[in-house]
Amino acid sequence: MALLKHLLLSFTMIIISFVACYSTLQEDPPSSIYVDHSPSIDDGGTVKNLIEQSTNVLSLNRFDKRNSLKKVSVNDYGAKGNGDTDDTEAFKKAWDVVCSSGEAILVVPQANYLLKPIRFSGPCEPNVEVQISGTLDASDDPSDYEDDSKHWLVFDNIKKLFVYGGGTIDGNGNIWWKNSCKRNKKRPCKDAPTALTFYNCEDLTVENLRIENAQQIHVSFQDSVNVQVSGLNVTAPEDSPNTDGIHVTNTQNIQISSSVIGTGDDCISIVHGSKDVEATDITCGPGHGISIGSLGAGKSKEFVSGIRVNRAKIFGTKNGVRIKTWQGGSGSASDIQFQNIEMDNVTNPIIINQNYCDKKKKPCKKLLSKKSAIQIKNVLYQNITGTSASDIAVRFDCSDKFPCQEIVLQNIDLQCEGGDDADAMCNNVELSYLGHVRPRCNSKKRKAFTTITSILKYFSCVYVRYAGWNKLRALERISNQGFWFGIEFAAIFLSFHCHAKQIEKFSSHNKHLKTPFEIVHQN
């Protein structure tokens, strides 16, 4: 009987210690080291002031240089600017002069200019600028777009182009929205023009413009490199279909900053071939949030990497920060960071959807059976706070065949509108936590599991303290039971090893959490 008692006690102790140790290490699984090197948390103004000073110097240099450039007004080439007369030909003539001569500015004065589709093509001589002070109004006659139904204003194949001026680009999109298949299900789905497209441009700067009521996408950067975008105000009604604010396609090294976007679709959408994309100080809402994708439609192979979204305010949108991919595609979306973001009444604040489909139900069901998918990996969500309009604030719906990998949540605090606890839904995701994270995946089940394992750990410690050490002190009295004492001692060692691992894990995590001072001075 005594033998059986020792056997059961030792076996129970080993099981308790193992479960306690396992649960401790699983509560915050080890993760890659993520340190915020941006000066966004609390830089004391040092980095910010340096950037502002650099910007001011650049602005002064640009102003001095601009005074020496030749100014070519569209009015000098026949533009009326009355909002009724077609001024397209006058703009073409003025552009040809600016492009061929270089060191020149195409000037659009304060007036309303009606334009049909127009392409400002290069290559041009160096130092070409476009100053838009007035309003460009798109023709609302669909027959004017028969030769090119996808574009209205296009800047094509130009190096060192600078577009600015404080003016307005109005797509007059209402006629297109009424005929959209998303508003009228009986109508066929057709392309509508993008209001402003920059195609195959290098060393491009676009700043201080208002773009509104686009026929479809407002601004698109395609096949371009080294792009600076700032001070854009992009607006369209919340129910306007497919009116993405800023769309980035196959473009590398692009910085989007200090812009306000509210449309009927994504505030910013980043799709295939894009690399090293930064979006900073963005205000987004209404709309569908800031999205990477969709990727992988039609079994395509697509890649996106080096995406940084930092300091954003997102309000009243369907999504906050989203990654969306189709089943059946291939490629990857990797090295992505969403940092320092405020959510206000957002339906899906944090979402990955590897089962995206906007087709009818039957085709979508077929896609879910595909055996390939875009691989999503190395994604950091850091310092994201605010409110969710739904119960699920964090939603990871990843592929069962290609699960999401190396996903890290750090310092997340999201709750339902009204103050109730939000929840998280996670399928097929390799997930790690750093710092305070709320909500966590399967949070309700996790709370119950944590409670149980905490009790087990408590009894483990009690056993170690009262039973284990008593055995050690009375070793000479139980030498004849050496075998069972060895088993019990192994259980004690396992418990101590578990707690040592817990301390080691805690120290390892915290040594990577830099202070704001360290973050600033690392730069």
Q: Tell me the pLDDT tens digit for each residue of 6-55.
A: 555 555 655 555 544 444 444 444 444 444 444 443 343 433 444 345 44
**What's the rounded Cα separation, in Å, for the pair 399 and 85?**
54
Q: Is the pLDDT of residue 483 over 50?
A: no
Query: Which ranges of 1-45 does DSSP label H, i.e. alpha helix?
Result: 2-27
CA distances from residue 482 to 2, 6, 495 in whole angstroms, order as listed = 14, 11, 20
pLDDT at 494: 47
Residue whose pair of structure tokens reads 């089940």 in the numeric block: 445
- For residues 482 and 197, the model is more confident at 197
pLDDT at 221: 99
Tally of CB atoms within 10 A around 359: 12
pLDDT at 356: 86
Assigned token pair, 62 = 């640009």
Q: Is the pLDDT of residue 153 over 60?
A: yes
Is residue 515 classed exposed, middle or buried when 0-12, 13-18 and 19+ CB atoms within 10 A define those classes?
A: exposed
Q: In sequence order, what are the beta bridge partners of 112? A: 82, 135
- For residues 270 and 24, the model is more confident at 270
Least confident of 32-46, 330-344, 422-436: 32-46
Q: How confident is the model at residue 185 (pLDDT cuts 50, 70, 90)?
A: confident
pLDDT at 187: 83
Nearest to 334 by CA among 431, 406, 426: 406
pLDDT at 40: 40
Assigned token pair, 71 = 């100014």
**What's the rounded Cα separation, in Å, for the pair 386 and 48?**
25
**What's the rounded Cα separation, in Å, for the pair 68 and 355?**
55
For range 49-76, the mean pLDDT = 67
How does the average pLDDT of the chain come out, rounded? 81
**What's the rounded Cα separation, in Å, for the pair 168 and 124?**
25
Q: Is the pLDDT of residue 405 over 90?
A: yes
Task: Exactly one of 218, 272, 288, 509 is catalytic; name it.
Answer: 288
Sign of CA dihedral 83, 89, 90, 92: positive
Q: What is the CA angle 488-457-431, rounded to 5?
A: 120
- For residues 179 and 139, the model is more confident at 139
C-alpha Rg value of the chain to the nearest Å = 30
- For residue 520, give the DSSP letter: H
- For residues 24 and 266, the model is more confident at 266
3-state SS string for 222-275 = ECCEEEEEEEEEEECCCCCCCCCCEEEECCEEEEEEEEEEECCCCCEEECCCCE
Tally of CB atoms within 10 A around 182: 15
Assigned token pair, 25 = 């290490």
For range 57-61, the mean pLDDT = 52
Do 313 and 290 touch, CB atoms closer than 8 A?
Answer: no
Helices H / strands E in the chain, number of each: 9, 28
Instruction: Kindly report the pTM of this predicted structure.
Output: 0.77
pLDDT at 357: 83
Nearest to 244 by CA among 307, 301, 196, 188: 196
For range 469-489, the mean pLDDT = 45
Least confident of 114-128, 193-207, 429-443, 465-479: 465-479
Q: Which helix (H) or strand (E) holds 518?
A: helix 516-522
Q: What is the CA angle 425-431-435, rounded to 5?
A: 100
pLDDT at 490: 52
First and final C-alpha spacing in the chain: 69
Q: Is the pLDDT of residue 431 over 90?
A: yes
What percent of the chain has a predicted confidence (pLDDT) above 90? 63
Q: In sequence order, what are the beta bridge partners of 162? A: 129, 205
Residue whose pair of structure tokens reads 């996808």 in the numeric block: 150
Q: Is the pLDDT of residue 506 over 70?
A: no
Is residue 497 part of the annotated active site? The answer reads no
Which DSSP string do the residues of 464-506 spell out, in sequence order?
A: IIIIIHHHHHTGGGSGGGHHHHHHHHHHHHHHHHHHHHHHHHH
pLDDT at 64: 59
Following CA atoms 329, 331, 337, 343 in sequence, which dihedral angle do they give, to the nearest 10 degrees? -10
Residue whose pair of structure tokens reads 């080691």 in the numeric block: 504
What percent of the chain has a predicted confidence (pLDDT) above 70? 70
Least confident of 269-273, 277-281, 333-337, 371-375: 371-375
pLDDT at 67: 76
Nearest to 249 by CA among 198, 289, 298: 198
Least confident of 217-231, 292-306, 502-516: 502-516
- For residues 440 and 39, the model is more confident at 440
Assigned token pair, 408 = 């890290």
Assigned token pair, 70 = 């030749």
Assigned token pair, 223 = 């096949």
Single-letter residue type at 279: A
Tally of CB atoms within 10 A around 130: 21
246: left (phi over 0), alpha (psi -120 to 50) or beta: beta
Q: Is the pLDDT of residue 182 over 70?
A: yes
For range 165-171, the mean pLDDT = 98
**What's the rounded Cα separation, in Å, for the pair 218 and 427?**
34
For range 489-513, the mean pLDDT = 42
Nearest to 354 by CA among 320, 392, 397, 394: 397
Is residue 120 helix, strand or coil?
strand
**What's the rounded Cα separation, in Å, for the pair 313 and 322?**
14
Q: Is the pLDDT of residue 334 over 80?
A: yes
**What's the rounded Cα separation, in Å, for the pair 459 and 12?**
11
184: left (phi over 0), alpha (psi -120 to 50) or beta: beta
